[in-house]
Amino acid sequence: MVHHARPDPMRCRPLLLVKRMSMAKGSALILTVLVGMAVALQAPINSTLGRATGTFHAAFISFLVGTVALLGIVVVVGGFSQLKGVTDVSWVYLTGGLLGAAYVVTVLVTVRYLGAGGVAAATITGLLTTAVVIDKLGILNLEKIPITWAKVLGVILLIVGTLLIIKD
């Protein structure tokens, strides 16, 4: 009788994770990666626009174009009747646009010094580090998710990766 060696569970783990992923989650992952790829273009596009029009003007134009696009989507998917729900949420949940504006204005300038890769790396590092803390504390009505050593290591690797990407 031939005995076959059992596969190393650590080598098979990523494959198992992919196999366990639902189709909806897999599609969400692919869509998010694709949008992330598109967002990498945002800072250089807005920075070039900013050189032609001014930093704040470029941010305004960027948001105006986005607002017009979203207006079209809202009209297509059913109009404005759901906007009445805006009065049912805390003011905190209305600050997303301000956070987006802060990001756009900041990367309009910082992309000139860090490059698209540096801006993307720094953004992802800040985003993931903050998200891990938000999950741990359950901020903004999210379910609390503990911080693990793997997550801490991931954040450390992101910081190191960011420093390597922006290094001259």
- The answer to whether residues 47 and 112 touch, using CB atoms and an 8 Å cutoff, is yes
pLDDT single digits (tens) 101-121: 999 999 999 999 999 999 999
- The answer to whether residues 22 and 64 touch, using CB atoms and an 8 Å cutoff, is no
Cα angle 55, 57, 59; round to 5: 70
Q: Is 46 inside any structural domain?
A: yes
Please give the average per-residue pLDDT across 37-61, as a whole number: 93
Q: CA distances (Å), 143 to each of 71, 133, 137, in order?
A: 31, 12, 8
pLDDT single digits (tens) 145-160: 999 999 999 999 999 9
pLDDT single digits (tens) 57-84: 999 999 999 999 999 999 998 888 888 8
pLDDT of 17 strictly over 60: no
Please give the average per-residue pLDDT across 131-156, as a whole number: 95
Q: Is 25 inside any structural domain?
A: no
Which domain range does residue 109 map to?
41-166
Domain count, the chain: 1
Q: How far apart are CA 46 and CA 112, in angstroms?
A: 11
Q: Is 19 inside any structural domain?
A: no
